[in-house]
Amino acid sequence: MAEEQDEHRLIAERRRKLDEWRAEGAAFPNDFRRDALAADLQSRYADHDAEQLAATPVRVRIGGRLIRKRVMGKASFATLRDMSGDIQLFVRRDDLAEGLYAAFKGWDAGDIIGVSGTLMRTRTGELSVHCDRLALLTKSLRPLPDKYHGLGDTEARYRQRYLDLMTNPDSQRIFTVRSRIIRSIREAFHERGFLEVETPMMQPIPGGAAARPFVTHHNALDVDLFLRVAPELYLKRLVVGGIERVFEINRNFRNEGVSTRHNPEFTMLEFYEAYADYRDAMDFTESLLRRLARDAVGTEQLVWQGESIDLAPAFRRLSVRDAVVEHNPQLGAGVDDPQALAGYAESLGIEVGPHWGNGKVLLEVFEKTAEAALIQPTFVTDYPVEVSPLARPRDDNPAVTERFELIVAGREIANGFSELNDAEDQARRFRRQAEEKAAGDDEAMHYDADYIRALEYGMPPAVGEGIGIDRLVMLLTDSASIRDVLLFPAMRPRD
């Protein structure tokens, strides 16, 4: 209660200052233009000592948020923060117009200001702007949190991201890295001749992934529509149409649980390439991840939550079956015995459904016992047909598909497979999925008749893949939760 009363008092004082500023007729000016950013100055003049800066004056105009100030009689030091970082200000009464220094002393942390002056170095060697002009541009009516060291309440950081970005430089770093990753992805695909496209976010039939969709209603058409769970079936329609290398950086929506790895809306990269298969996609994905790491964080050697991860060596390739055997030695030959495997799954606490086949049980055991143990980059391959309704079966073993998932630090980063381009086989699998949905599986796929029609015109052999951008950013920024890498994650309302 005392803290709230103190905050109300501070806000009231700032409002009083704003009223005085308004009365002067100068509030919220929009005529200041800056010509430099703090980080650029810090970098460009890193090797200039005090004598060099004094001998050849460098005039600058910078603008940003007043983070802190230290008033010492006729002179003061302050810190200004812009989108690039911080820089120190040196403000002396005798260098300013009459009355300006007194006004400056009344400005508050959080105010947005513009300053002009020359670069200098203090006795401690810190690059600073020796100010000869100051302007208050925006009055901050609320005090900055936690004495300007950032928000201590993790939930508050997510709910009030603007405060987090304002006071926590590491948050700005994370989202800068995210932007670099997405830019590098686009460059890599454009270099390979891919076409970037946009596909519908509202779809009459949700498809492309096993997930529970969000439902909305279009009033004019009087139809229910689904927010897309994946763009896959639309992108493959484009491959049928002759766009043989296509990609989309897309927002997907799944009406499922929220956790450190899941948010109801998330960002994916999906791409499709004709006349290639899942082995080609694995090779490309491996090189792409190395490129993204170099471009975004400058190294292929990462640390994620205390685990050292090296992207430089060739990524391991391991089948689902072999991963289960490796991490469940007590299972032995039972991995190939449906009854023994189902019994083993139940001993792990997995509730085996009445309609589950051996492939579904095998995948559940893998996810329960092996996935989290795969720390170094590993392509897990040969997923059962039963759990891969859109993937092409292997010619030498029709029970498994030409599908892989890339697991790093125990988490799925990518999922790809050679595409099923047999229209009749795809129709059979859709019908099986529709039966499972009718039996109560909310995540089973619908039957998409138009997609089957497209396949009947003929789709060339192709590979497709989805890469989770959010999880990739988590990996490259050492972030434990998906909420750390989303500017505005989904949160339960306070009230």
- The CA distance from 205 to 19, in Å, is 56
Question: CB–CB of 417/209 below 8 Å?
Answer: no
How far is the C-alpha of 384 from the C-alpha of 357, rounded, in Å?
10
Does 232 appear as a known binding residue?
no
The span from the CA of 216 to the CA of 203, in Å, is 10
Residue 127 CA to residue 122 CA, distance in Å, equals 7
Q: Where are the alpha helices (DSSP H) in 168-225?
A: 169-191
The identity of residue 70, as a single letter, is: R
Q: Partners of 462 in the beta sheet?
A: 274
Sheet bearing 245-253, strands edge to edge = 195-196, 245-253, 265-274, 462-468, 411-418, 403-408, 378-381, 316-319
The pair of structure tokens assigned to 170 is 């590491």
Please spell the DSSP secondary structure of 278-342, one letter per residue. Answer: HHHHHHHHHHHHHHHHHHHHS-SEEEETTEEEE-SSPPEEEEHHHHHHHH-TTTGGGGG-HHHHH
Nearest to 280 by CA among 418, 394, 382, 408: 418
| Cβ 64 vs Cβ 80: under 8 Å | yes
Q: Determine the Cα–Cα distance for residues 344 and 332; give it in Å rounded to an integer.
A: 11
In the three-class reduction of DSSP (H, G, I as helix; E, B as strand; rest coil), residue 84 is classed as coil
Q: By C-alpha distance, which of 444, 453, 446 is closest to 225? A: 446
405 among annotated binding-site residues = yes
Neighbouring-strand partners of residue 381? 319, 404
| Sequence ranges of the binding site | 405, 412
Query: Which residues are annotated binding-site positions for Mg(2+)?
Result: 405, 412
